[in-house]
Amino acid sequence: METLESLFLSFETGIRSSKAIKPKEYLKEIGLDYNELRIGFNSGQFHHRESQTTKDEFEALGVLKKSDAGVNKEGLTAYTVFGRYGLVFPLLNEQNRIVNFFALRFDMETQREEYLNETGIYPSHPNRNTKRLYLTTTVMECASLLQSKTLENRDAVMAMHNGKLLTQHLEAIKSLHELEEIIIIKN
């Protein structure tokens, strides 16, 4: 059974590929390092050469959708791929399992940000002993704050979902028994 965990591992391998020149250049341009943060690259080809069973599993996860686009070989099915040619960031549940992806499709005329679903928190649920919590409106702002290494001991950062606090965010905040301060960073 394919999972978002195993798929993200392939995206992490993808960003390290010698062919991933544009994603690496873009990350360097915005000051993010895939060696320090969990960032992957989805070339859009993870389902190529896979069995139909595996493709069905990807479809059940929501990362593939059947498409009406033409294909050059009889008997093949065309698919639309979530986050195609994009940087991918994992969102985690309380057990630190990947339950969602955020994708930044940077190489388009107009950049596009998309979530696979509405579950999970980026970069993860804050430690229960967090005293100061930073909330950012986007995953990219959150990643930049993490990369800056300005967080102190017992600080945590959490990205909202498209600028909104969802139930999982509120539950995570309520679980922080030593929380003294919440700092909201708006762009």
**Domain CATH number, residue 100:** 3.90.980.10
Distance CA 54, CA 4 (A): 13
Q: Determine the pLDDT at residue 87.
A: 98
In a domain, 127, yes or no: no
Question: How far is 64 from 44, CA to CA, in rounded Å?
Answer: 10
> Lowest-confidence range among 18-22, 44-48, 182-186?
44-48
Task: State whether 139 and 180 are in the same domain.
Answer: yes
**14 and 56 in one domain?**
yes
Asked if the structure places residue 122 within a domain, the reply is no
Contact 22, 13 (CB under 8 A): no
| pLDDT 10s digits, 93-141 | 999 999 999 999 998 888 999 999 999 999 999 999 999 999 999 999 9
pLDDT category at 25 given cuts 50, 70, 90 is: very high
Residue 55 lies in a domain: yes
150 falls within a domain: yes
Whether residue 121 is contained in a domain is answered as no
Count: domains in the chain: 2
pLDDT for residue 153: 92
Kindly state whether residues 104 and 154 are assigned to the same domain: no
Tell whether 126 is covered by a domain.
Answer: no
Identity of the residue numbered 58 = F
**Same-domain check for residues 137 and 107:** no
If you average pLDDT over every residue of the chain, what do you get? 91
Give the pLDDT score at 108.
83
Return the percentage of the chain with pLDDT > 70, whole number: 94
Global confidence as pTM? 0.92
Q: Which domain holds residue 149?
A: 132-185
The answer to whether residues 90 and 142 belong to one domain is: no
Integer Cα distance of 30 and 33 in angstroms: 9
Residue with tokens 């190529």: 48
Select from 160, 164, 159 the least CA-distant residue to 142.
159
Asked if the model's pLDDT at residue 74 lies above 80, the reply is no
Same domain as 50, residue 108: yes
Is residue 100 a contact partner of residue 120, using CB atoms and an 8 Å limit?
A: yes
Q: Is the pLDDT of residue 1 over 60?
A: no
Indicate if 100 and 159 belong to the same structural domain. Answer: no
Contact 141, 185 (CB under 8 A): yes
In this structure, is residue 123 part of a structural domain? no
